[in-house]
């Protein structure tokens, strides 16, 4: 995803939760069922984006 597209996505009308994670991160994997439940409960009222920090380090760095 291009950085400009990402910026437009997170600044949209729908609240966006960004899940920064890594494949090797155990606690990150434990968040998946919780985030799935949040999405199931809130449906289209929220957008959840998963960002692999190993594959997208620039986005993780910019957003802290």
**Among all residues, which ones are annotated catalytic?**
25, 28
Give the 3-state secondary structure of residue 47.
strand
* Cα of 42 vs its chain's centroid, Å: 15
Residue 41 tokens, joined? 């409960």
Compute the distance between CA of residue 37 and CA of residue 7 in angstroms, rounded to an integer: 25
């Amino acid at each position: 995803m291009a950085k400009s597209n990402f910026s437009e996505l997170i600044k949209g009308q729908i609240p966006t939760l960004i899940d920064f994670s890594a494949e090797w991160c155990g606690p990150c994997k434990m968040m998946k069922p919780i985030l799935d439940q949040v999405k199931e409960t809130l449906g289209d009222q929220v957008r959840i984006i998963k960002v692999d920090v190993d594959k997208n380090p620039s986005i993780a760095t910019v957003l802290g």
